[in-house]
């Protein structure tokens, strides 16, 4: 479940646990919103190594590798539109790539 609390994006992935932007997460334990996946193509997600997780109230939460260039979030914001804010949660690079293939399926785009 995705929520906005006092202007911050957060994810609820198991009872009583709240994940804040920037925190390391296990992509096997969260639900991905299909609407978020539609906004970034599989090809682009693989190229940038990001996984769109949720979008609500013009805030997109994306999973990014633990060490990423800060301009990546600006790039995603530009792709989505200047009105959209982008918040990052961290996951391992390998788990992001595996989750991209799992959630987007076998399509090339």
In angstroms, the Cα distances linking 1 to 10, 16, 37, 100 are 9, 12, 15, 19
What digits encode the pLDDT tens for the residues 39-56?
999 999 999 999 999 988
14, pLDDT greater than 50: no
Strand runs labelled E in 1-94: 2-5, 8-14, 17-20, 51-56, 59-65, 85-91
Domain extent at residue 67: 2-104
CATH of the domain at 55: 3.30.300.160
Q: Give the strand pairing for 59-65 and 85-91.
A: parallel
Question: Which of 14-23, 50-59, 71-80 ranks highest by mean pLDDT?
Answer: 50-59
3-class state of residue 42 by DSSP: helix
Residue 109 forms part of a structural domain: no
Q: State the pLDDT at residue 108.
A: 58
H or E stretch including 73? Answer: helix 71-80
| pTM of the model as a whole | 0.76
Provide Rg for the chain, Cα atoms. Answer: 13
Q: State the pLDDT at residue 1.
A: 47
pLDDT band at residue 15 under the 50/70/90 scheme: very low
Residue 41 forms part of a structural domain: yes
Burial annotation 49-77 (CB, 10 A radius, 16+ → b, else e)? bbbbbbbeeebbbbbbbeeeeeebbeebe
Q: Taking a C-beta distance cutoff of 8 angstroms, is the pair 64, 49 a contact?
A: yes
69, pLDDT greater than 50: yes
Residue 50 forms part of a structural domain: yes
Residue 97 forms part of a structural domain: yes
Average pLDDT over every residue of 68-96 = 86
């Amino acid at each position: 479940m995705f929520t906005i609390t006092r202007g911050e994006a957060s994810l609820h992935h198991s009872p009583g646990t709240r994940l804040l932007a920037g925190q390391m997460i296990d992509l096997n334990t969260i639900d991905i919103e299909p609407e978020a996946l539609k906004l970034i193509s599989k090809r682009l997600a693989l190229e940038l190594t990001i996984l769109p997780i949720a979008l609500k109230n013009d805030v997109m939460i994306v999973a990014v590798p633990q060490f990423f260039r800060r301009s990546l979030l600006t790039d995603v914001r530009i792709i989505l539109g200047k009105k959209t804010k982008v918040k990052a949660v961290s996951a391992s690079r390998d788990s992001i790539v595996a989750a991209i293939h799992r959630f987007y399926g076998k399509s090339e785009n």
